[in-house]
Structure 1
Amino acid sequence: MRIRSLNIIIVVCLTLLSKAWAANVIEGVRIWPAPENTRVVFDLAEKPDYSYFFLSNPNRLVIDFKNANNVAPLANLAKNDTRINRIRTSTGKYKNSTRIVLDLNSAYTETIFPLAPTGPYGNRLVVDLLDKAKKVVVVHKPKDNKRDVIIGIDAGHGGEDPGSISKNGTYEKKITLSIAKRLEAIVNKEPGMRAVMVRGGDYFVNLNKRTQIARQKQVDFLVSIHADAFRTSQPRGASVWIVNDSRAQSELSKWMRSREQNSELLGGGGELIKKTNDDNLAVFLADLTKDKSLEISDQMARNVILELKKVTKMHKSTPQNASLAVLKSSDIPSMLVETGFISNSYDFKNLMSSTHQKKLANAIFTGMKNYFVKYPPAGSLLASLKPSKHKISRGESLSLIAHKYKVSVKQLKLANNLKTDVVRVGQTLTIPK
Structure 2
Amino acid sequence: MFERPPNLTHPLLESMSRRQLLKAGGALMTLLVSPVSLAADTRILAVRVWPAQDYTRITLEGADALKFSSQIVKNPERLVVDLEGIEFDSVLQSLPSKILDSDPYIKLIRAGRNRPGVVRLVVELKTEIKPQLFTLPPVGNYGHRLVLDLFPVQEVDPLLALIQKSSPESAAAGQTADAPDTTPTRSERQPELARTPPRALDKAPPTDRDGLTRPKVTRMITIALDPGHGGEDPGAVGRAGTLEKDVTLSIAQRLKARIDNEPNMRAMLTRDADFFVPLGQRVNKARRVQADLFVSIHADAFIKPEARGSSVFILSERGASSTAAKWLANKENASDLIGGINVRTRDAHLARTLLDLSQTATLKDSNKLAKAVLGEIGDINTLHKNAVEEAGFAVLKAPDIPSILVETAFISNPEEEKKLADEAYQDKMADALLRGIKKYFAKNPPLAKSKLAMLE
Please give the range of the TM-score, normalised by the shorter of the 2 chains. 0.7 to 0.9
Q: Structure 1, residues 366-413: CA drift from partner, whole Å, max 9, x if none?
A: 111011011101228xxxxxxxxxxxxxxxxxxxxxxxxxxxxxxxxx
Q: Give the one of 128, 132, 136 matched to 1:115.
A: 136
Report the AA paired with residue 140 of structure 2: G
Report the AA paired with residue 307 of structure 2: P
Look up the match of 1:279: 349
Q: Structure 1, residues 261-293: CA drift from partner, whole Å, max 9, x if none?
A: 432112122635414xx23467568765x1110
1:218 counterpart = 2:308: no
- Change in Cα spacing, 1:370 to 1:261, as seen in structure 2 (3 Å) is closer
Look up the match of 1:329: 398
Pairwise CA distance, 1:216: 0.9
Q: Give the 5 Å matches for 1:128-277.
A: 128-133=149-154, 140=188, 146-248=218-320, 250-269=322-341, 271-275=343-347
Look up the match of 1:33: 51
Q: Secondary structure at the match of 1:82?
A: coil
Q: Structure 1, residues 316-346: CA drift from partner, whole Å, max 9, x if none?
A: 1111111111001111110000001111011
User: 2:67–2:84: 8 Å Cα contact kept in structure 1?
Assistant: yes
CA distance, structure 2, for counterparts of residue 225 and residue 272 of structure 1: 28
Look up the match of 1:24: 42
CA distance, structure 2, for counterparts of residue 329 and residue 142 of structure 1: 15
Report the AA paired with residue 308 of structure 2: R
Q: How many residue pairs were aligned?
A: 357
Q: Secondary structure at the match of 1:213?
A: helix
Q: CA RMSD in A?
A: 2.5
Q: Give the one of 95, 104, 111 matched to 1:82.
A: 104
User: 2:354–2:397: 8 Å Cα contact kept in structure 1?
Assistant: no
User: 2:133–2:148: 8 Å Cα contact kept in structure 1?
Assistant: yes
Report the AA paired with residue 327 of structure 1: L
Report the AA paired with residue 139 of structure 2: T
Q: Secondary structure at the match of 1:75?
A: helix
Look up the match of 1:338: 407
User: 1:22–1:96: 8 Å Cα contact kept in structure 2?
Assistant: no
Q: Normalising by the residue count of structure 2, what TM-score does the alignment of the two structures yield?
A: 0.73
Q: Give the 5 Å matches for 1:350-389.
A: 350-379=419-448
Q: Normalising by the residue count of structure 1, what TM-score does the alignment of the two structures yield?
A: 0.77
Look up the match of 2:78: 60
1:306 counterpart = 2:375: yes
CA distance, structure 1, for counterparts of residue 230 and residue 351 of structure 2: 26
- Change in Cα spacing, 1:117 to 1:154, as seen in structure 2 (3 Å) is same
1:106 counterpart = 2:124: no
**Structure 2 runs not aligned, ≥5 long:** 1-37, 160-186, 192-216, 450-456
User: Which structure: larger Rg?
Assistant: 2
CA distance, structure 2, for counterparts of residue 285 and residue 135 of structure 1: 27
User: 2:357–2:397: 8 Å Cα contact kept in structure 1?
Assistant: no
CA distance, structure 2, for counterparts of residue 257 and residue 60 of structure 1: 41
